[in-house]
């Protein structure tokens, strides 16, 4: 039977309630821990470390995410064989292993505890995915995981917040999925509960806040405008100035590097814009209300505003 530490180790700034939540999850999860234990017990003497649910970790204890939620988290992120999934704080490796086994993609688990790295590597061997699922000993706050296209986490709210600035600098469109804990005022793009346990998805938004010069070209000719986006995470509003007209963009939606919005020009023509943000440039297509199609290019005119707008 697994025993839990009498006091829950965690980040010193974590509220007691989140430590209790993890421990409750640990107490409810002994069955989930059993496969890892029996696998470890069968291992040769040199690799006989037996993980205990609730054991100390550097910044958070080890509690495995239940299989059904692991599957749901990876599906929320729409993992494909082209992805590279990185699990921050990998424990026994089950998320990275599931990504490789069920979604045929490369994966990496970063884990501080070297004994758990050994357990995870052996579990990947047993699952037949050691070629795709790798594990490295490291501290998630020092490790470079910028090549990931999907990042998974079962940490603590304060740890998620501490990681958030780094996560927000990842390539736009990178998917982040967490078990149980959120990202402060950064609202998730999707959420789920599986057997009462919450999972959340965020899509790293491109940086669009600030001023842009917008050129729109279609059969009516080319028109130029000064546009400005106000951004708080993935939430964006926009305004535009064209000759003597000032107006508001309608239905602005940013998802990763894709931005769409509607805009009425100074001649009263309403167009839908659909573009991709690449650094300081946005390029895409337009469709006027009468069906006429065209293209647009936007170029930054000033400094980008911070994506998190100074929140939290
Ligand atoms: C709650 S468990 C989650 C395990 C796994 N991701 C899952 O969902 O099944 C958190 C894991 O993070 C590890 N950990 C804690 N602090 C860490 C740090 N700074 N760097 C790397 N791993 C860490 C712990 O050892 C533990 O295995």
In the chain, where are the structural domains located?
16-203, 210-300
Q: What is the mean pLDDT of residues 273-300?
A: 98
Ligand 1 pocket, residue 110 CB under 6 Å: yes
Distance between CA atoms of residues 256 and 65, nearest Å: 27
CATH class of 16-203: alpha beta
16-203 against 210-300: fold identical: no
pLDDT tens digits, one per residue of 46-64:
468 999 999 999 999 999 9
pLDDT tens digits, one per residue of 220-237:
999 999 999 999 999 999
> Candidates 26, 35, 60, 70: which one to mutate for ligand 1, based on the most atoms within 8 Å of Cβ?
60
Distance between CA atoms of residues 141 and 108, nearest Å: 15
Q: What is the mean pLDDT of residues 3-8?
A: 31
CB-based contact 61:54 (threshold 8 Å): yes
pLDDT tens digits, one per residue of 99-123:
999 999 999 999 999 999 999 999 9
Ligand 1 pocket, residue 90 CB under 6 Å: yes
Distance 117 CA to ligand 1 centre (A): 11
- Find the helix or strand (DSSP H, E) in which 42 lies: helix 30-42
pLDDT tens digits, one per residue of 163-181:
999 999 999 999 999 999 9
CA neighbor of 133 nearest in space, from 102, 166, 154: 102
Residue 18 tokens, joined: 């989140």
Ligand 1 pocket, residue 33 CB under 6 Å: no
pLDDT of residue 119: 98
Q: Provide φ and ψ at 280, rounded to 5°.
A: -95, 20
**210-300 — its CATH code?**
2.40.128.120
DSSP label at residue 43: S
How buried is residue 312: exposed, middle or buried, by Cβ count under 10 Å (0-12/13-18/19+)?
A: exposed
Torsion of CA 266, 268, 273, 279, to 10 degrees: 10
What predicted TM-score, i.e. pTM, was given to this entire model? Answer: 0.89
């Amino acid at each position: 039977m697994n025993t839990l530490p009498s006091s829950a180790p965690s980040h010193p700034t974590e509220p007691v309630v989140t430590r209790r939540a993890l421990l409750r999850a640990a107490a409810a999860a002994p069955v989930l821990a059993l496969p890892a234990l029996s696998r470890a017990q069968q291992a040769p003497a040199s690799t006989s470390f037996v993980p205990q649910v609730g054991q100390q970790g550097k910044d958070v204890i080890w509690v495995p995410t239940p299989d059904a939620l692991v599957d749901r988290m990876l599906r929320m992120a729409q993992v494909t064989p082209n992805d590279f999934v990185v699990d921050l704080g990998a424990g026994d490796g089950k998320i990275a292993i599931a990504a490789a086994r069920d979604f045929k993609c490369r994966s990496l688990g970063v884990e501080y505890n070297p004994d758990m790295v050994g357990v995870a590597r052996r579990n990947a061997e047993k699952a037949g995915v050691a070629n795709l699922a790798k594990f490295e000993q490291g501290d998630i706050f020092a490790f470079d995981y910028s090549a990931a296209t999907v990042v998974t986490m079962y940490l603590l709210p304060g740890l998620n917040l501490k990681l958030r600035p780094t996560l927000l600098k990842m390539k736009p469109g990178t998917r982040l999925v967490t078990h149980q804990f959120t990202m402060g005022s950064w609202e998730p793009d999707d959420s789920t509960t599986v057997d009462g346990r919450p999972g959340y998805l965020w899509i790293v938004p491109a940086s669009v806040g600030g001023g842009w010069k917008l050129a729109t070209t279609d059969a009516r000719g080319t028109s130029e405008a000064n546009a400005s986006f106000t951004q708080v995470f993935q939430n964006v509003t926009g305004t535009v100035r064209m000759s003597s007209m000032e107006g508001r963009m309608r239905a602005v939606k940013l998802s990763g590097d894709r931005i769409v919005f509607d805009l009425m020009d100074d001649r009263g023509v309403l167009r839908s814009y659909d573009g991709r943000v690449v650094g300081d440039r946005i390029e895409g297509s337009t469709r006027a209300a009468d069906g006429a199609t065209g293209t647009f290019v936007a170029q930054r005119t000033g400094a980008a505003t911070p994506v998190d707008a100074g929140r939290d």
